[in-house]
Amino acid sequence: MKKELLRFVWEGFASPVTIGLGVNLLVLREAGADTTVIARLRERPSTLVPYLDGIARQLDGSCLPLEVRNYAPELLPVDVVRDLYEQVDWCGDEDVVSASDLLDRLDGPAARAHARRWLPPRRSLREAIARLEVVCDDHGDHEVADRRLLRDLHFALTYEERP
């Protein structure tokens, strides 16, 4: 792989999974497994938006990642990666993301600044934290209804760019 674009990190055996550009190829590499070709390219693309469906299909069924690193924000702006994240049929997110865990992770100004930077524009961090507190006070009874909020915050805390 000539250029790594995205890296998804989990605890365990299948980590990390990377999306990268090779010679005329868009590929997925998984530790201990064969490289999977997502698409054949005629030339280096200026954007990878047309390939999001193929990338999402390769990630379907995976658990929510603990880290999402973007090494090519010029090809994959944060909104595009967020769309990809939302498009993937993640498995077992209730085991990875809980309101109380997110509140713990949002404790402190550095974590809040990081989350605020990567939250979708439609989300207010202050309102999101207030909602998490309500969900925690209800002992998680509303977590299924608030799954979108939990995923938005999880993405905002795990995403980073390293151009």
Q: Give the tens place of pLDDT for each residue, 93-105.
A: 766 688 889 999 9
- pLDDT exceeds 90 at position 114: yes
- pLDDT exceeds 60 at position 13: no
The CA distance from 49 to 113, in Å, is 27
Label residue 109 by pLDDT band (50, 70, 90): very high
- pLDDT exceeds 60 at position 22: yes
- pLDDT exceeds 90 at position 64: no
Only one residue has tokens 């990567």, namely 118
pLDDT of residue 134: 87
Compute the 3-state secondary structure of the chain and give helix, strand, coil in percent, each to the nearest 5. 40, 20, 40
Of the spans 13-22, 133-142, 150-159, which averages the highest pLDDT? Answer: 150-159
Average pLDDT in the 122-141 region? 84
Label residue 143 by pLDDT band (50, 70, 90): low
**Domain edges within the chain:** 3-87, 97-157
Contact 135, 142 (CB under 8 A): yes
- pLDDT exceeds 80 at position 111: yes
The CA distance from 163 to 160, in Å, is 10
SS3 49: helix
pTM value?
Answer: 0.87
Q: What is the DSSP string of 5-26?
A: EEEEE-SSTT--EEEEEETTEE
The CA distance from 88 to 62, in Å, is 9
53-56 — which CB contacts under 8 Å span 24+ positions? 53/87, 54/26, 55/6, 55/19, 55/26, 55/28, 55/84, 56/84, 56/87, 56/88, 56/89
- pLDDT exceeds 60 at position 141: no
The CA distance from 68 to 109, in Å, is 21
| Amino acid identity at 28 | L
Average pLDDT in the 5-28 region? 84
pLDDT of residue 110: 96
